[in-house]
Amino acid sequence: MKFARQVVLVLVLQGPGLVESQVRLSEVMADPPGSESHDEFVELSNIGLDTLDLAGWQLGDGEELDRIADAGEGTRLAPGAMALVLDGSYKGASTTYESVQELARIVTIEDRAFGRGGWSNSTPERVLVVSAAGDTVDVLTYDPMAGRPGHSWERQHDDLAWQLSLQIGGTPGRPNSVDQTPAMAGKIDLEVSPDPFAERLQIRCRLPAAPALLSVRIYDAEGILVARLRQWEPAALEEIVHWDGRHEDGRICAPGLYVVAVQSSAQGRVVHGKAVVARQ
């Protein structure tokens, strides 16, 4: 499947059939980093002044709607609170969102997948919210070809604007990353593991600002370039890159010390990060 590596804005126009409501979509995870069968989610926000009961409400695509169901915490949503809606197959099959229980109301749907077969990763998809009265109160239309695997669609403060999450896994139960403006620090936070490594090195890059352009290179102890893992490619606040311990031409690198050199460019500034790792 081909995905465009770019930051995009999705504009959702409120048509004549859309009824104003205190509940709205705030985030949709259509292509999760974990199990696609169990880890898709929809986040709803109560922007009104009154507590609202989601019992009888429905979520779905243009082909099938699924009723929201109690997952053990009830279905009432307080003013300003968020509800994380998981598909019916999540419980017993995944633990990805266990920590979200302290941040948002966890509910589920009666079906084992959103809409007809889950959210689409190949063709444009509509995500609809329908009230207990049968009114369509919110709609997101997204294009998977403009998405990135592991990144959710997040609503910005502007009611009509949506953007890809700046964090892998999205921000379920938390403020949307696209509404946060990280301070520009002087360095990149790097984690390399395992260290030492034998076959595969994981490089976790936490950037001071996003969207950004990311460069990741590997040098040997003498400063000779070994591999270019990222060449100024679009990046979110957190990126994970892997190195297989080989030169660019496929030769296996000899045991020894190597330098992971990372650069990111955002908000008109370039910042640097560096880590030393041993290859066995």
* 61 and 96 part of one domain: yes
Report the alpha-carbon distance of residue 229 to residue 249 in Å, rounded. Answer: 13
Q: Any idea what the CATH number is for the domain that residue 240 is in?
A: 2.60.40.4070
Beta bridge partners of 84: 43, 106
Q: For residue 133, is it within any domain?
A: yes
The tokens for 207 are: 């950037």
What's phi and psi for 169, nearest 5 deg? Answer: 90, -5
- Is the Cβ–Cβ distance between 109 and 87 less than 8 Å? yes
175 Cβ contact partners less than 8 Å away, ≥ 6 residues apart: none
The count of structural domains within the chain is 2
Ranges of residues in the chain with a pLDDT under 70 are: 1-20, 158-160, 180-186, 268
Task: Give the residue from 179, 200, 224 where a domain finishes.
Answer: 179
* 137 and 205 part of one domain: no
Burial of 26 (0-12, 13-18, 19+ CB in 10 A): buried
Which helix (H) or strand (E) element contains residue 59?
strand 58-60
What confidence score (pLDDT) does residue 139 get? 94
* 36 and 134 part of one domain: yes
- Is the Cβ–Cβ distance between 279 and 245 less than 8 Å? yes
What confidence score (pLDDT) does residue 115 get? 92
* 172 and 230 part of one domain: no
The tokens for 222 are: 């003498």
* 96 and 116 part of one domain: yes
What confidence score (pLDDT) does residue 20 get? 66
* 131 and 205 part of one domain: no
What's phi and psi for 97, nearest 5 deg? Answer: -110, 25
User: Helix, strand, or coil here: 99?
Assistant: helix
3-state helix, strand, coil in the chain (%, to 5): 5, 45, 50
* 87 and 157 part of one domain: yes
Q: For residue 265, is it within any domain?
A: yes
Task: Give the residue from 179, 204, 221 where a domain finishes.
Answer: 179
Burial of 268 (0-12, 13-18, 19+ CB in 10 A): exposed
Q: Any idea what the CATH number is for the domain that residue 93 is in?
A: 2.60.40.1260
- 225 to 39, 98, 201, 251: CA distances (angstroms): 39, 42, 17, 13
* 165 and 254 part of one domain: no
Determine if the peptide bond prior to 144 is cis (ω within 30°): no
What confidence score (pLDDT) does residue 242 get? 96
Determine the structural domain holding residue 164 and report its residue range.
9-179
How far the first Cα of the chain sits from its last, in Å, is: 35
Task: Give the residue from 130, 148, 179 where a domain finishes.
Answer: 179
* 201 and 236 part of one domain: yes
Q: For residue 39, is it within any domain?
A: yes
* 162 and 266 part of one domain: no
Q: What pLDDT digit, counting tens, does each position of 179-211 carry?
A: 764 444 457 889 999 999 999 999 999 888 877
- Is the Cβ–Cβ distance between 44 and 129 less than 8 Å? yes
66-98 b/e with 16+ CB inside 10 Å = b?
bbbeebeeebebeeebbbbbbbbbbeeebebbe
Q: For residue 2, is it within any domain?
A: no
Q: For residue 1, is it within any domain?
A: no
* 166 and 194 part of one domain: no
Report the alpha-carbon distance of residue 147 to residue 163 in Å, rounded. Answer: 9
Q: For residue 3, is it within any domain?
A: no
What confidence score (pLDDT) does residue 102 get? 82
* 270 and 247 part of one domain: yes
The tokens for 87 are: 């598909």
